[in-house]
Structure 1
Amino acid sequence: MASIKDVAAEAGVSVATVSRVLNDHPSVSADARTRVLAAVEALGYRPNAVARSLRTDQTRTLGLVISDVLNPYFTHLARSVEEEARALGYSVIIGNADERPDLQDHHVRTLLDRRIDGLLVSPTDGGSPLMLDAARSGTPMVFVDRWIAGVDVPVVRSDGRTAVHDLVAHLHGLGHRRLAIIAGPAATTTGRERVEAFRQALAAYGLPLPDSHIGQGDFQAESGRRAMERFLDLAEPPEAVFAADNLMALGALDAVRVRGLRVPDDIALAAFDDIPWFVHTDPPITAIAQPTGELGRAAVRALVDRIEGRPPESVTLPARLVARRSCGEPASAEPRALRKPPVLQEATASTEPSPATNRSQS
């Protein structure tokens, strides 16, 4: 394997000049830079990343801790993070928390020990001491999708409240009046936000949300199955069920089919977090789609801004309703913008995360 001395000899310059070129130092002539880069290419030289990190105090590596790698939403998010990081000259190490705070802390600790330059996290809970210490100690950090209230860290997320209202308006327009929700964990911001948005949207239409129509889930399929089974056992089951993530929706769909029932003939079903194979289920599932790829890219850009000394910004992107046929829509159903009652618009304005500067994009 070629060494830095071999590159210097090939280019006819000093080792110090090679080092300056590799570190993009401005005090190198164009001719010397061209010769060094040509020598690097010809010899197949690869700099020692560990040694470079000791000299520069940077590893050009980002950490990403996602909530559940089996959830297609987070798989897509991780891919977009890796692609954007690579484009900006960074590598990514990924840790899967599996919706467990203890695993989340394990990955955060390991990544910090490996001297990553910055950390992207989708928190699984309200904030462990380790997570809070890392955020408050100055570690460059960005929350993506979920966040921890009161922590001064940029947040990159979608506006789920508006999309949930669009869904309730859609269901109301289809004639559904008894609505239920399979909620995510109350310890997560997205779990709480989606329930509250659903409750407020129902209230805007004069519809109740009794406790019996709130199923507690954990963003995984089995909890969706259990919640739907409980709904179906009610003396008067709901007419439509909103699962607050895609895996819980799939579990709920299984529960309906095990009973020998059909969606939407016997019960309507909608989901948060659209996934590619929802169009292939029978019937195709109506869902709220987040701009997952752009969320991942925006999160990386915000983190790199923070690492490189530029002021980072929080970003909120719009989610949208994709109407298919799982709620009783006609076969020709298309997504459409729906009017929002003023009461929900007012509530939405007060629930934006406060960390850093918030920039909404559309």
Structure 2
Amino acid sequence: MASIKDVAAEAGVSVATVSRVLNDHPSVSSDARTRVLRAVAALGYRPNAVARSLRTDQTRTLGLVISDVLNPYFTELARSVEEEARALGYSVIIGNADERPDLQDHHVRTLLDRRIDGLLVSPTDGGSPLMLDAARAGTPMVFVDRWIPGVEVPVVRADGQSAVRDLVAHLYGLGLRRLAIIAGPAATTTGSERVRAFRTALAEYGLSLPDAYTGQGDFQAESGRRVTEGFLDLPEPPEVVFAADNLMALGALDAIRARGLRVPDDIALAAFDDIPWFVHTDPPITAVAQPTGELGRAAVRALVDRIEGRPPQSVTLPARLVVRRSCGESPTATTPTTTTPTTTTAAATTASTATNRSMP
């Protein structure tokens, strides 16, 4: 295997010049840079990444801790992170928290011990002292999808509020009035935010969200199944179940089918976090889609800016409603039904105003 001395001899330059070229130092002449790169290619030289990290105090490695690798949303997010990082000259080590705060902190601690250059995290909850300590210590870090309030870290996320409002308008236009939600964990920002957005949108149409129509899930399919079974046992079941993530929506679909019921004939179903599978279900599921690939790429760019000394920026991208046929839509429907909100009572107006003020 060729060494850096071999490259220097082949290019007719010093070892220091080869090192500067490999580290993209601007002081090298274009002629010397060309000769070194030709020698590297001819000899098949590969720099020792471990040795380089000891010299430069950089490993060119990023850590990514995602909430659930089995969730197709996070799988796509991880793929886009890896692709963008590779394009920028970084490798990625991925840890799966499995929606467990203890496992999340285990991965964060392990990645920090391995001297990664920066950390991307989708927090499983809002109470990790380790994350707070890492941020205070100046660890280059970016939160993606979820975040921890009060921790001064750039956040790259999608704003689903408008898309949830579009969904409620769409359902209202279809004549549906009894709307229920399977919420994600209240300890996560996405879990609490989606419930607030749903409640706010309902109030704009003079609709309420009874406690019986609010079920607590955990972003896992089994919780979607359990909550939906409870909805179906009510004396007056909801007309629509809105699952606040894709796995809970699949669990809800299982529960509905297990009762011998059909979507949307007997009950409608909608979801947050569109996934490719939803076009293959019968019927295809109406869903709020996040720009997952863009989020992953933007998160990497923000983190690399932080690592390389540029001011990182938080990024918020819009989600959008994708209309299919799980809520009783026409087979040709491709855009939301638009209906102007009507405030039926003063109480509804007050509730809507109060809820809007509480939105982040």
Look up the match of 1:257: 257
Q: 1:151, CA displacement in angstroms? A: 1.0
Look up the match of 2:155: 155
Q: Is the 8 A contact 1:166 1:340 kept in 2?
A: no
Counterpart amino acid of residue 155 in structure 2? V
Look up the match of 1:68: 68
Q: 1:47, CA displacement in angstroms? A: 0.5
Q: 1:279, CA displacement in angstroms? A: 0.7
Q: What is the rounded CA distance, in whole Å, between the counterparts of 2:12 and 2:188 in structure 1?
A: 59
Q: 1:206, CA displacement in angstroms? A: 1.2
Counterpart amino acid of residue 4 in structure 2? I
Q: What is the rounded CA distance, in whole Å, between the counterparts of 1:24 and 1:215 in structure 2?
A: 55
Q: 1:349, CA displacement in angstroms? A: 7.7
Q: 1:66, CA displacement in angstroms? A: 0.4
Counterpart amino acid of residue 121 in structure 2? V
Count, aligned residues: 352
Q: How does 1:104-253 map to 2 (within 5 A)?
A: 104-253=104-253
Q: 1:127, CA displacement in angstroms? A: 2.8
Counterpart amino acid of residue 107 in structure 2? H
- Cα deviation digits, residues 88-128 of structure 1 (max 9, x gap): 11111110000000110011001101111111000000131
Q: 1:27, CA displacement in angstroms? A: 2.1
- Cα deviation digits, residues 48-85 of structure 1 (max 9, x gap): 11111111111111111000000000000001111111
Q: Is the 8 A contact 2:241 2:270 kept in 1?
A: yes
Look up the match of 1:298: 298
**CA gap 1:337/1:86 in 2 versus in 1, 3 angstroms:** farther
Query: Among the aligned pairs, what percent are the same residue?
Result: 86
Q: 1:145, CA displacement in angstroms? A: 0.4
The answer to whether 1:2 aligns with 2:26 is no
Look up the match of 2:50: 50
Q: 1:338, CA displacement in angstroms? A: 4.0
- Cα deviation digits, residues 251-294 of structure 1 (max 9, x gap): 00000001000000000000000001101100000000000000
**CA gap 1:309/1:337 in 2 versus in 1, 3 angstroms:** farther
The answer to whether 1:85 aligns with 2:77 is no
SS state at 1:142 partner: strand
Q: What is the rounded CA distance, in whole Å, between the counterparts of 1:276 and 1:345 in structure 2?
A: 36
Higher mean alpha-carbon deviation, 29-38 vs 71-80, is at: 29-38
Cα RMSD over matched residues?
1.6
SS state at 2:314 partner: strand
Q: Is the 8 A contact 1:161 1:194 kept in 2?
A: yes
Counterpart amino acid of residue 82 in structure 2? E
Q: 1:347, CA displacement in angstroms? A: 5.8
Counterpart amino acid of residue 85 in structure 1? A
Q: Is the 8 A contact 2:221 2:248 kept in 1?
A: yes
Q: Is the 8 A contact 2:196 2:359 kept in 1?
A: no
Q: 1:28, CA displacement in angstroms? A: 1.8
- Cα deviation digits, residues 4-29 of structure 1 (max 9, x gap): 11111111222111111111122222
Look up the match of 1:103: 103
- Cα deviation digits, residues 209-248 of structure 1 (max 9, x gap): 1111111110010000000000000111000010000000
Query: Which sections of structure 1, spanning at least 5 residues, go unmatched?
Result: 353-362
Counterpart amino acid of residue 75 in structure 2? T
Look up the match of 1:278: 278
Look up the match of 2:336: 336
SS state at 2:287 partner: strand
**Where in structure 1 do 4 or more consecutive aligned residues deviate above 3 Å?**
336-352
Q: 1:137, CA displacement in angstroms? A: 1.0
Q: What is the rounded CA distance, in whole Å, between the counterparts of 1:4 and 1:348 in structure 2?
A: 62
TM-score w.r.t. the length of structure 1 is 0.94
Q: What is the rounded CA distance, in whole Å, between the counterparts of 1:85 and 1:337 in structure 2?
A: 40
Look up the match of 2:346: none
Q: 1:298, CA displacement in angstroms? A: 0.6
